[in-house]
Amino acid sequence: MAEQSSNTVWHHATVTRQRRESQNGHKAVVVWFTGLSGAGKSTLAHAVEEQLHQQGCRTVVLDGDNVRHGLCGDLGFSETDRSENLRRIGETSKLLVEAGVITLTAFISPTQADRQRVRSLMPHGNFLEIYCDCSVAVCESRDVKGLYAKARAGEITNFTGISAPYEPPKGANLTLHTGEESLQQSVSRVIELLQQRGIIPAKNSVTHSG
């Protein structure tokens, strides 16, 4: 989206991202969970956040349903609105990373183009794409809201996996088989990735001065 005003200037704060990260004792990053509805994205994001919080990390989870109650409450589910939804999430995530926060997002984000657009907003290495690979059959079996049944009955249109396509990531930083492995196994693999990338110390605790 083009900037609407030419009279705006980005303000550079004296408290920089680097100073915030130093105070936190860890680096900031966007951890982007993508996959079908019911693949376990939100459950996993919150479970990872719980472990990081216990280690003293500063975190936030941006969840699809929650975001649509406020920031994106004016958007529907057309292809255009879904792209705008993710654009807003991307810009919000960028601000949170600048604030030194580990930002965990849980969105279907079905297209390569939209995910790449969000990645391009971040400095190199600050966007970790995690693919929650789970079959439609397993996702349907977990569907407590009955969304898949409604989609198959034609009551919901543009439903990813049924009446709208999902494009699996071609170069995800991590692929989790969430229909087969346990939640704790998936959490451990995400934590290990963050340690390998130097986002958090490779220890069971994080020290910080804040």
> What are 191-205's pLDDT values in tens digits?
999 999 999 998 644
Beta carbons of 35 and 131 less than 8 angstroms apart: yes
User: Is the domain 17-196 a CATH 4.10.320.10 member?
Assistant: no
Beta carbons of 25 and 201 less than 8 angstroms apart: yes
> How much is the mean pLDDT over the chain?
88
- How is the chain split into domains, by residue range? 17-196
Tell me which residues are annotated as active site: 109
**pLDDT above 60 (res 98):** yes
Cα 21 from Cα 7, distance rounded (Å) = 31
When pLDDT is averaged across residues 103-125 and rounded to a whole number, the result is 93
The whole-number pLDDT of residue 175 equals: 98
The whole-number pLDDT of residue 5 equals: 58
When pLDDT is averaged across residues 177-194 and rounded to a whole number, the result is 97
Greatest mean pLDDT among 67-81, 121-135, 192-206: 121-135
**pLDDT above 60 (res 1):** no
What are the tens digits of pLDDT across the range 20-30?
998 899 999 99
Q: What are phi and psi of 54, to 5 degrees?
A: -65, -25
Find the range with the poorest average confidence among 24-28, 35-39, 68-72, 128-132. Answer: 68-72
